[in-house]
Each structure stands twice: as structure tokens, then as C-alpha cells.
Chains A and B, each alone.
Chain A
Amino acid sequence: MSILVIAEHDNSSLKQATLNVVAAAKAVGGDIDVLVAGENCGAVGEDAAKIEGVNKVLVADNAAYGHFLAENLSLLVADLGKNYGHIFAVAGTTGKDFMPRVAALLDVAQVSDIIRVESEDTFVRPIYAGNAIATVKSSDDIKVVTVRPTAFDPVAGEGGSASVETVDGAHDAGTSSFVSEQLAESDRPDLGSAGIVISGGRGMQNGENFQMLEKVADLLGAAVGASRAAVDAGFVPNDMQVGQTGKIVAPQLYIAVGISGAIQHLAGMSDSKVIVAINKDEEAPIFQVADYGLVADLFEAVPQLEEELKKVL
């Protein structure tokens, strides 16, 4: 059976996480088709055709899909997906929004946020905020699956030569419409896919102090994150939150500054390759997962870190 992967994109370019999902699909085996649904998204279709190992790209270009409204997207994906054995999407806020609708329309279960493929019907996923890891088997004919992108190494985004087909018509449920969006403008890499992440917690004391982290982040080409405590305290917006209720990250290097290390935060970052913790409380639980711990006042250590990095980078 073949696999339908739903591309994640912003109508102009393909999001890297799509490559991680294609990698997960490859682990299942079989032909992989990629659906690009959006508005004026032809360039994304061309990007998707270059992904290594993709058989065919389907482009559904219509105003109904322009803002990725789940009501419309799910009708399209369920319609196309009924001919596939698996439907895979990124476990981001878009995939989490429309995929359960697809599963319900197809009358199948969904397997959420998988971190490993055991076989074509068996997947591994975290439960209880990552405090337990479940292996689950689906008995449905169509497996509707969302994939945690950081758990799979991406396939190459270049070198493929898939055919591109247009999907005609539109599924418009007519029940919802887009009003507005406020997306954070940033030159820094996306938190979910950055190679280095530096995050601040309650110890940062206020939002202005995050500028210290931003200076270090700009030296390292890193993204800036935050703990839920820092978000709840109003220091920074919620889209910066790393943790069970925020973003799950697994960068090469994660630097936790003034973060105590609550379970809910660890659930979002403990798969990082190297973890650094800077905290003045040497009993802080974050040190139990850190590869390198520095017991220090962050208001001294972070400016020093900036100076030391300038010397070696």
C-alpha cells in the first residue's frame, strides 16, 4: 500500500518538518505521495517534487485551502486518503488540527505524535508527557498518523524527481473562515527545527532580560525558547514555550538558563543531543539531565558566555 504525506508549508516554501515526516513514511515502506494543499502554492509543489524518495506530488491549489482551515483540508485529505494505506502529517498545530477530522471522516483511529515506526501497523509514541513510552498497534485499514518531526532524521530535500499532478475542484465546508493572524517576525531559526536552542525560565525575572539570550542566540544561530513558568509570568509569548504544553524540541545543543527543570519542561527538550544548564540553585532538577551544568548567577554567566563565544566563533 502507498503512503500519503501531507506537506507542511506556508504557500511559498516547504517547511523542513515535511522531510522528517517523509523519513517516517520511508520507515513504513511503500510508494510515498506528497499532498501540497494551499493557495498559490505551485512553488511548494516544485519543492516537494525534489524530496528524495517521493513518487508523486499532488497539488491542490484553491482558496479553500489557503489558510489551512481544518474543516476544508480534512474533506480533501479524507477524499484523497481513502485510496492509501497510511496518511502521515507533521504533529504541529496544523496537523493536530485537521488530522483527527480526517480519521473521524474515514472512521479510523489516529495515532498521534509518533517517535518511531516499528512496522507498517505498529508505532511508538510518548504518553503522560513523555513519562511513559507506548507501543501501539492499529487494526484499521488506513493508518492516520501524526509524526513528531524531531524524532526522525530528515530525508534530503534535493535530488528527487517526482511527477506533479494537479488535484481539481475544491472541498469547501463553508462553516469557517480566516479572520486574521499575528505571526512572530524573527530572523532567527524556527524553534521546532533549530540546531541550537537557548531558553530562559522564571529566573530571567522579566521579558527585557531575554535580550541577553537573544545576543547569545544570534552568535550561535540559535532559536530562543522559554519555560512555561516564563510564559505564565508574562515575560514572553506562548509560541516560545518549550515543554509538554508547548513545543517539543530536540536540537544538537539546548541551553537552559534560569530554568529549574519541571517535568513538563523536560518533556519538551530531554531528547536534545547536548544539554547545558545554567542555574544558581545547584539542587535544580535540570542538572539531573544536563550534560554540562554551571552553578552560577545567570546575570553574570550569560554576558560572560557571550564574550567567550565571541572569542571562539
Chain B
Amino acid sequence: MKVLVAVKRVIDYNVKVRVKPDNTGVDLANVKMAMNPFCEIAVEEAVRLKEKGVATEIVVVSIGPKAAQEQIRTALALGADRGIHVETDEEVQSLEAAKLLKAVVDKEEPKLVILGKQSIDTDNNQTGQMLAALAGMAQGTFASEVVVEGEKVNVTREVDGGLVTVSLNLPAVVTTDLRLNEPRYASLPNIMKAKKKPLDNMSPADLGVDVAPRLSTLKVEAPAARQAGIKVADVAELVDKLKNEAKVI
């Protein structure tokens, strides 16, 4: 079966985020970018499905500027077979990303679409669910286990309070949570091989999708800084402060 994986180029998770002085956004100039960590887990899961003989082809898609090709090449080096780059320099919000992915799904007709549960930049946690709704597919969000059985996939989901397992008709959408797997690193030979794998380029217009944003960001600010408090000498002083000063116990 064919698996489609969507990946996003985001600020590297190790980079300290700084808000621009004019409050229009976050400073991304000369900042290290990388594949969103949850998307790495999505790629890994697809590769494992291929290694198990469940997946026969892995197509990786990314929406973004020219440089997003780096993240597609990374996914190809990790084991994806070919890439699709939906190239745009415009800001693409979740609903519009879902519409673009829906158009790709219509062309590629994958049995399974795997995405990260959220990207670590906008923290929206929307695109996979929106894609599933637009495509009329079932979804297994925040997955910690994915088991394909015939025409169904069983997904164990990380929910408040524990785990829930659902059975979904294929084709379906899965979004990854942290514990689904531990992504591998790409080997140098595979990085070299990835350069030769096919990568299609298209625009949102080619897919017939209007990506004009519905949400406008009025301002972006740094969070209020928390003041460091005091150090206490011992446990007795701590309990005394909590009881008599902070009055929280």
C-alpha cells in the first residue's frame, strides 16, 4: 500500500526563540531550520511499515519555500521513495495546508497518510484532522501504536488519562505522538542516494487551492518573564514559607 507522509520545515527545536522587536513575529533570519520533530516520527513510522512489508511506496510532501526541499531530501534519505514539493513563499495556515494535502491525496490516492500531531512553531494541532475531514477519512490522532490489519488500521491514541485504541477504515489519517517510535538518523550513503530520488515541484495554483490566510496575526510578544524567587535553607523553612507567606498549603 502507498503511504503519504507530510513534513514541515520549522525552526530547529534546540534554537532559542526570539520575538522580533517590532512585535510582528518571531525572528527566523539566520536561524537553524529543521524537520518538525513530530514529522520525523511520521517518516520513521512510514519507513518501519515499509520494512515490515506493509507499505510498498512512501511519498513525502512538504508545503513551503524553496528551502523546504531540504526537509524532503532528509525524508528521502530516511527511506521515503519520492517527494512532492508544493512551493510557496506565502504563509500557509492549517486549513489551507489541509486543502493542499487533500489535493495531493486526490492525485496520489494513498491508503494511509501520516503527519505529526503538531508543528513546534505554530503549535496548532489541526492539519491532520482537517485533512481527514476534507477527505472524508477516519483519523487516529496522537498515535502511540499503529497496526495495519487488512483494510483497517488499529491506532492506539495518547489521551488525557491514558490510552484509547480505535479501529479505522482505510484510507485513514494518522497523526504521531512522541512515543510512537524513535526516529533513526540518515546514513551518509542514504543521504547521497536521496539526491537522486524523484522530487516533483508544484504550486498551490497547480493544485487549484487558494491559500489566502483566514487568521491575521496582530502582534507577537515575548511572554511575561517570571521572576526568580528566593532560595530556602532547608525543608522546614520551605514548609513555613508555603504555609505562612504564600499561603498555598
Contacts and interface: CB of A to CB of B under 8 A. Distances in A.
Contacts of A247: 160
B29 interface: no
B218 A122 contact: yes
A108 interface: yes
A301 B166 contact: no
B26 A128 contact: yes
- Size category of the binding interface on chain B: 35 or more
Contacts of A55: none
A105 B133 contact: yes
B181 interface: no
Contacts of B162: 181-184, 237, 239
B228 A290 contact: yes
Given A100-B125, A276-B242, A181 B130 contact: no
B243 A134 contact: no
B132 A101 contact: yes
B67 interface: no
Interface in B195-243: 213-223, 226, 228-232, 234-236, 238-239, 241-243
Interface stretch (A42-50, A91-99, A151-159, A200-208): A91-99
Contacts of B26: 127-128, 131-132
Given A100-B94, A289-B228, A108 B249 contact: no
B215 A312 contact: no
B88 interface: no
A188 B246 CA distance: 23
Q: Which of B154, B158, B235 has the most CB atoms of chain A within a 10 A radius of its CB? A: B235
A139 B215 contact: yes
Given A100-B126, A103-B130, A112-B125, A93 B160 contact: yes
A274 B246 contact: yes
B126 A103 contact: yes
A74 B141 CA distance: 14
Nearest to A125: B123
Given A70-B129, A287-B231, A274 B238 contact: no
A245 interface: yes
Contacts of A70: 129, 132, 139, 141
B159 interface: yes
Contacts of B30: none
Contacts of B130: 100-101, 103-104, 110
A292 B213 CA distance: 44
Given A192-B160, A220-B249, A175 B168 contact: yes
A256 interface: no
A127 B17 CA distance: 10
Given A177-B167, A184-B162, A134 B249 contact: no
Contact of B220 (A107, A134, A239): A134
Given A133-B220, A274-B242, A128 B17 contact: yes
Contacts of B123: 112-113, 126-129, 244
Given A101-B129, A175-B138, A175-B168, A183 B231 contact: no
Contacts of B122: 127
A133 B222 contact: yes
Contact of A139 (B167, B216, B217): B216
Contacts of A237: 162
B134 interface: yes
Given A97-B129, A132-B17, A312 B139 contact: no
Interface stretch (A24-32, A58-66, A302-310): A302-310
B62 interface: no
Contacts of A275: 226, 229
B98 A104 contact: yes
Interface string B123-162: 1111111111110111101101000000000100111111
11 contacts: A71-B139, A93-B159, A101-B132, A107-B95, A112-B123, A127-B26, A175-B136, A175-B137, A247-B160, A274-B242, A291-B229
Given A131-B223, A132-B17, A245-B178, 20 more contacts: A70-B132, A96-B142, A100-B126, A100-B133, A103-B126, A104-B129, A105-B133, A109-B213, A129-B120, A134-B219, A136-B217, A136-B218, A173-B136, A176-B138, A276-B238, A288-B228, A292-B232, A292-B242, A295-B231, A305-B239
Query: 4 closest A-B pairs (Cβ-Cβ)?
Result: A100-B129, A291-B229, A101-B133, A183-B162
